[in-house]
Structure 1
Amino acid sequence: MERHQNSGHVGKGFIKRFGLTRGALAGTVAHDHHNLVVIGADDRSMMTAARAVGAMRGGLVVAEGDQVLAQLPLPVAGLMSDQPIEAVRGGYDDLLRAAHALARHARPLHGDELLRPGGDSRTSLTDLGLVDVDEFKLLPLWVA
C-alpha cells in the first residue's frame, strides 16, 4: 500500500511457498519503495497488522485475527527506531518468535524480498502493479 503521497494505490498479488498458515505480517521496511507490505493468510489478520503499523506511524507487526502478537515501532520514516539498540533487538527477537510461529519461511519479516517474482531482481510487485525496474514500466500480469 502506497504510504507517501496518499494516492490510494494498492498492489495485490499471491505469494507461493511462504509457509504462512495463519495470521499476518506487515511492515514499512520494503526495499526500493518503503510502502506498507502486508502478507497474510486471512483478511482479518491482515487488517489488524496493517492498522497496527499505521497506528505506530511505521514499523513491523505480527498479528493473528484481532490480536497483535508482536510489534516494533519504527517512527523515523517507518524505517528506523529512536530507541536504544538493546530495546530494538529485543523487539525484533519478539517479532521473529511470533512470525516463526505462523510461517515456516526462513526470514518471515523480509516479505519484500518475495515480491520479486521468481527471484528476478529486474521486476518488482509495487502499489502500481508488476514493474520492470530497469525500464521503469508496468508489465502485464497475464500473457495472452
Structure 2
Amino acid sequence: EGHIDSLVKMAIGEGLDPITAIQLATINAAEYFGLRHRGAIAPGYRADLVAFDDFESLRIEKVFSGGQLVAEEGRIVPGPLKEVAAHVRGSVNVNWAGVNLKIPARGRRAKVIGVIPDQIVTEKLNEEVKVEDGLAVADVERDILKIAVIERHKGTGNTGLGFVRGFGLKRGAIASSVAHDSHNIIVVGTDDADMMAAVECVAAIGGGLAAVENGAVRARLPLPIAGLMSDQPLQMVREEMDELLAVAQEMGSRLHDPFMTISFLALP
C-alpha cells in the first residue's frame, strides 16, 4: 500500500485538495519537526524529490535523494554502498549471568499486556496466571505468554519480565533487537528455554530477529548495523523476513506481523 503516499492518496480520495494533501506530507511536516532545507523544491533546499504521473493515481515514477536517483518504477536503483562505521556493529552486549527469565508467583493474578492487532497501543489487563512450582509461567491455552526485555548495550544484565496476550503462539518464541525506543532485546514465548534460545540467536548474529522452536532456530534475520538495519540486498532481507513471518504463523501466531508488534511492546 505504500507509506506516506498511501495516506496522501487516502486524503485526496476523501475530498481533500491534492495540493493541500501533498503540503501536509511535505513542507508542513518538515517545518513542524524543524527539518530545515527539506519539504519544498526551492534554492538551498535538499533535493529529496518524488516524481509521480497524476494526482489521482499518485503512482510514483522516480525518487531522488540528495539529487541522486535512488528508485524508479518501484525498484531501487543500485548504487555504491557506503562503508558502515565500525562502532555501529557489534552492538549486542548481554551480561548472561544477570539474565533470569523466572517470575516468582506473588499471588494468582498479574497485569498482562493486551495486544490489539495492527495497533501499537495496548490494553492493560488483569488476569489469573498459571503457577507451577511457585513460578508464574506461560498459559498457552489462554494465550498468556511470557515477555522479557533484556538490556543489550552496556551489559548490565537488567531484565524486565511480564506477560502478554494476543500473539497466539502455541509453541516456541520470537525475539528482536528492534524494540522502541531503547532497542534492547525483546522476546515473547511459550517457555523459558525457547525464549533464551531466541535471545542467544539474536545476540549471536549481532542483532536482528529470530524464531525458535524446541531449541532450534527455525528462521532469523541478521541486523548487524546497530542491531537495527541489514547490510544485505533488499530481496534477501525480504525473503528472510517472509520466512520469519511464515514460521511465526506455523507456531500459532495470529498476528499479521508479530515482529512489528513486538517492536513496540517495550514502550512504557
Counterpart CA distance in 1 for 2:167 and 2:245 is 15
Mapped partners of 1:34, 1:114: distance in 2:
11
Structure 2 gap ranges (5+): 1-149
The 1:91/1:75 distance shift into structure 2, 3 A limit, reads: same
Residue 74 of structure 1 aligns with which residue?
Answer: 223
Determine which structure has more spread, i.e. the larger CA radius of gyration. 2
Q: Which runs of 4+ in 1 moved over 3 A?
A: none
Unpaired runs of at least 5, structure 1:
117-123, 125-144
- Quick one: distance in 1 between partners of 2:263 and 2:235? 25
Q: Tell me how far apart the structure 2 counterparts of residues 114 and 78 of structure 1 sit (CA, whole Å).
A: 17
Deviation at 1:55, TM superposition (A): 0.5
Confirm whether residue 113 of structure 1 aligns to residue 113 of structure 2: no
Contact 2:219 2:244 in 1 (8 A): yes
Q: Distance in 2 between matches of 1:99 and 1:21?
A: 10
Give the Cα–Cα distance (whole angstroms) in 2 for the partners of residues 22 and 31 of structure 1: 25
CA contact (8 A) 2:174 2:188 kept: yes
Whether 1:56 and 2:189 are equivalent positions in the alignment is no
Q: Distance in 1 between matches of 2:191 and 2:227?
A: 24
**Per-residue deviation, residues 10-45 of structure 1 (Å, max 9, x unmatched):** 000100122111100001011101100010001111
SS, match of residue 193 in structure 2: helix
Q: Aligned pair 1:104/2:251, yes or no?
A: no
Q: Provide the residue aligned with 2:242 in structure 1.
A: 93
Give the letter for the 2:203 counterpart: G
Quick check: 2:186–2:266 contact (8 Å CA) kept in 1? no
The residue type equivalent to 1:105 in the other structure is: L
Letter of the 1:70 partner, please give it: A
* AA aligned opposite 2:172: G
- Structure 1 range deviating more: 99-108 or 37-46: 99-108
* TM-score computed with the length of structure 2 as normaliser: 0.42
2:192 to 43, 58, 63: 43
Give the 3 Å change call, closer, same or farther, for CA 16–40 of structure 1 in structure 2.
Answer: same
Amino acid at match of 1:113: F
2:177 is the counterpart of 1:28 = yes
CA contact (8 A) 1:99 1:109 kept: no
Overall identity of the aligned pairs, in %: 48
Q: Which amino acid aligns with 1:112?
A: S
1:12 aligns with 2:161: yes
